[in-house]
Amino acid sequence: MEKVIIIRYAEIHLKGKNRGYFERIFSNNLEKALKGIRHEIHRTSGRYLIADFDEERTDEIMLRVSKVFGVHSYSLGLLTENDEDSIFEAAKRVAPQSGTFKVETHRGDKHYPLTSMEISARIGGRLLAYDYELKVDVHTPAHTVYVDIREGGRALIFGTFVDGLHGMPVSTAGRGLLLISGGIDSPVAGYMMAKRGMTVELLHFHSYPYTNEAAKEKVVTLSKLLSDYTLVTKLTTVSVTHIQEEIHKNCAAELNVTLLRRFMFRIAERIALREGAGCLVTGESLGQVASQTLEGLTSSNAVVRLPVLRPLIGFDKEDIVAIAKKIGTFETSTLPYEDCCTVFLPDFPAIRPKLSFIEEEEKKLDIESLVEEALSSREVIRF
C-alpha cells in the first residue's frame, strides 16, 4: 500500500488520435510544476499518479497541482493491490470512524470478476462490521469511500475529489505575447489564455524616471505569480519614455494615450515575431476606460498584422477582480504604483478618435526611429 496523489485530466480525453501528444505535454507540465520536490509521476489509462513523494510537502504538492491547467480533479489516496482484502485495508485508512458513509466503486478494469455494486457492498459491509461507529447512507452520506479498480491488478482508494483548473495544458495552443501592466486586468488575461493551452510570453512597457523602480518591481512580482500558471520564467521590459515625451511635445493632448498604445503595439509585434509568438494578448475590456472604446481598440489594431486577442473583452470589472483574487494577483495589482499609461494623461482623452485624425497627428513623429530606440532599451528579466 502506497500513498499517492491521483490526477485526472480534463479535455484531453476528447482529442482522439492526438491524445498522446496532449498527454505528454500535460505530464511535462506536471514535472515543471513539481520541480525541486522529490516525486515520481506514473501514467495509468486516464490517470496520473504522483508517487514516492516527500510526504512532509504533501500540501505544497497539492497546491502546485491545483495551478496546472488541464487538471480536472485530484485526490490524495492509496494505491494497493486489487484483491478484496487489500482494498478493505486501504478503505479502513480512508473511511471516517463515525458518521454516515457509502462506498462508491468505479471499474477501470472491466475484466474484474465483481461488479461495481458488488465491490461497494462487500467493502461497505466489512467497514460496518469493523470497530467504527458508522451508518450507511447511500443518498446523502457525510463521507464517501471511493474505490477505483485499475488495470494491472491495482486499485486506488480515496475519500475526496478536489476540483482542478480544467482547461488545456500550457504550450498545446501556440505562443502569444502578453502586454502586462501593473494593473488588475492584464495578468488575468494571461491566465485566461494559458488556460486554453497558450504559452504566454510577457512584455512590459515602463516610463522611468516618470515611473519608479517600485512600479517595475510590482510587475516582476505579478509575472512571478502568473508564472505558477503559465510556466513562463522571463519578462521583457521596454522603455517608452522618449516616445511619450515626443507625443506630449508634438501631438494633440487628447490623443496621448491612443498614440502611445499604437506605438506599444508596433513594438510588441516586432518582439513577438522575434520570439516566435503568433499573436498579441491584452487585458482590454470594452468600454472600461477611455482608450478601450471600439474606435480606440480599432486604432491600435490598425498598426499591426498579428491578431490581437482580448480574452476579457466582454468582462465587467467585478468578473475580472474575482479571477484576480482567485489566482492571487489582486493584492499586488492594487499596490499604488503608477504605470506608463498614467504619465502625461490628458484631462479629457479622446473617447472615439477618428483614425484619419490619429494618422495625421502621427505624421509629426519619426515613428521608425522612436520604435528602434525603444527596442534598444529592451531588457530581459528571468525569475
- Cross-sheet strand order for the sheet of 199-206: 308-309, 279-281, 175-179, 199-206, 234-239, 379-382
The H-or-E segment that residue 98 falls in is: strand 98-107
Q: What is the CATH number of domain 175-382?
A: 3.40.50.620
> Rounded to the nearest 5 degrees, what angle is found at the Cα of 39, between the Cα atoms of 46 and 383?
100
Cell of 216: 517595475
Cell of 182: 501593473
DSSP-assigned letter for residue 172: S
Report whether CATH 3.30.2130.30 matches the domain 2-163.
yes
Q: What is the pLDDT along the chain (383 residues), one digit of tens a residue?
A: 999 999 999 888 888 888 899 999 999 999 999 999 999 999 887 799 999 999 999 999 999 999 999 999 999 999 999 999 999 999 999 999 999 999 999 998 989 999 999 999 999 999 999 977 899 999 999 999 999 999 889 999 999 999 999 999 999 999 999 999 999 999 999 999 999 999 999 999 999 888 788 888 999 999 999 999 999 989 999 999 999 999 999 999 999 999 999 999 999 999 999 999 999 999 999 988 777 889 889 999 999 999 999 999 999 999 999 999 999 999 999 988 666 556 666 666 777 889 999 999 999 999 999 999 999 999 999 98
Distance CA 264, CA 285 (A): 17
Question: Pairing relation of β-strands 98-107 and 47-51?
Answer: unpaired
Three-class SS state of 176:
strand
Q: Model pTM?
A: 0.92
Distance CA 371, CA 303 (A): 12
Domain ranges for the chain = 2-163, 175-382
Distance CA 326, CA 315 (A): 16
Distance CA 312, CA 50 (A): 35
